[in-house]
Amino acid sequence: MNAIQLMIDEHKVIKRVLTVTRKLCIGILNGSPVHFDAFRDIIDFVRNYADKHHHGKEEDVLFKKMSEELGEKMANVTIFGMLAEHELGRLFILNLENALEKVKNGDQDAKVDIIANAIAYSDLLHRHIDKEDHAIYMYAQNKLSKESLERIDEKCRELENEAYNKKIQEKYLRLANKLENQTGQIYQ
């Protein structure tokens, strides 16, 4: 298994859910009711697939190895920047969750906070994924030793197997399909 290729493929699934998120926000802007169930699924997907499953491999395996092997500048500037963006994403999702709760409780003005945080998250993640696909991952592929890349593949394989036993990949791929189908039906 090539861990970097696997993570690039995970980005594609994440981007599909970001597209759904944007469509839901445009719907709210155009006067549609807030689809609480779809947003609940998006938050579940973001926290457990994009963050725990995907960012977990970056933070605990790939970025960790890059920081150890490629020097202080890589650790302090590039990797720190990536980790800060993961953290900012978590804040946007927490804000989104709070805004959904407010709207559910009758605060219609909080719709603007749903849109603001969902779009901020989508834009952040699109830019973040672009940097990883075209710069960070390629740099890792070219600069890390063969042994380190093999070690990364091995650790990621273990994590993938653990997740597979919990049916994580299956559950969240199905959720991404469901979200696309739902929004496709709502917004033709």
If binding is defined by CB under 5 A, does position 53 make contact with Fe ion?
no
**What's the min distance (Å) between Cβ of 135 and Fe ion?**
12
Q: Which two tokens stand for residue 184?
A: 């496709």
If binding is defined by CB under 5 A, does position 46 make contact with Fe ion?
no
Size of the site for Fe ion (CB under 5 A): 2
Tell me if 111 sits within 8 A of 28, measured CB to CB: yes
Fill in the per-residue mask, 64 to 103: x = in contact with Fe ion (CB under 5 A), - = not in contact.
Answer: ----------------------------------------
**What's the min distance (Å) between Cβ of 30 and Fe ion?**
31
**What's the min distance (Å) between Cβ of 162 and Fe ion?**
19
Identity of residue 161: N
Q: Which two tokens stand for residue 16?
A: 């599909």
* 34 versus 125: smaller Cβ distance to Fe ion: 125
101/53 Cα distance (integer angstroms) = 26
90/51 Cα distance (integer angstroms) = 8
If binding is defined by CB under 5 A, does position 132 make contact with Fe ion?
yes
Q: Which of 145, 90, 92 is nearest to 118 (CA)?
A: 92
Binding site for Fe ion (CB under 5 A): 58, 132
